[in-house]
Amino acid sequence: MTKLHDLIAARIAATGPITLADYMADALMHPDHGYYATRDPLGAAGDFITAPEISQMFGELIGLSLAQAWIDQGQPSAFALTELGPGRGTLMADILRATRGVAGFADAAHIHLVETSSTLRTEQAKRIPNATWHDDVTTLPDQPLFLVANEFFDALPIRQFHRNPNGWSEVQVAVQDNTLIAGLSAAAPIVLLDHRVKDTKAGDVVEHCPALPTIIQTISQRIAAHGGAALIIDYGDWRSLGDTLQAMKNHAPINPFADAGEADITAHVDFEAIANAAAPAKHTRLSPQGVFLERLGITQRAHTLAKNLSGDPLDQHIAAHRRLTHPSEMGSLFKVLGLYPNGAPPPAGLEP
Q: What residues line the site for ligand SAH (CB under 6 A)? A: 29, 36, 42, 50, 52-53, 85-87, 91, 114-117, 120, 150-152, 155-156
Which residue number, 152 or 161, has a Cβ lying nearer to ligand SAH?
A: 152
Distance CA 163, CA 205 (A): 6
Q: What 3-state class would DSSP assign to 246?
A: strand
Nearer to ligand SAH, 26 or 53 (CB): 53
Among residues 235 and 257, whose Cβ is nearest to ligand SAH?
A: 235
Distance in Å, CB of 289 to ligand SAH, minimum: 12
Rg (CA), the chain: 21
Separation between Cα atoms, residue 68 and residue 347, nearest integer Å: 7
What's the rounded Cα separation, in Å, for the pair 63 and 57? 10
β partners of residue 178: none
Residues 269 and 2: their CA atoms lie apart, in Å, by 28
**CA distances to 256, 336, 344, 347 from 70, in Å:** 41, 19, 10, 9
**Nearest distance from residue 311's CB to ligand SAH, in Å?**
27
Q: How many helices (H) and strands (E) does the chain have?
A: 12, 17
Residue among 114 and 224 whose Cβ is closer to ligand SAH? 114
Q: Which is nearer to ligand SAH, 114 or 298 (CB)?
A: 114
By beta-carbon proximity to ligand SAH, the closer residue of 123 and 170 is 123
Q: What is the dihedral of CA 189, 193, 194, 198, to 10 degrees?
A: -110
Cβ nearer to ligand SAH, comparing 170 with 264: 264
Task: In angstroms, give the least distance from the CB of 153 to ligand SAH.
Answer: 9
- CA-CA distances (angstroms) from residue 273 to 15, 139, 221, 352? 31, 23, 16, 17
- Residue 36 beta carbon to ligand SAH: minimum distance, rounded to whole angstroms: 4
d(CA 8, CA 44): 30
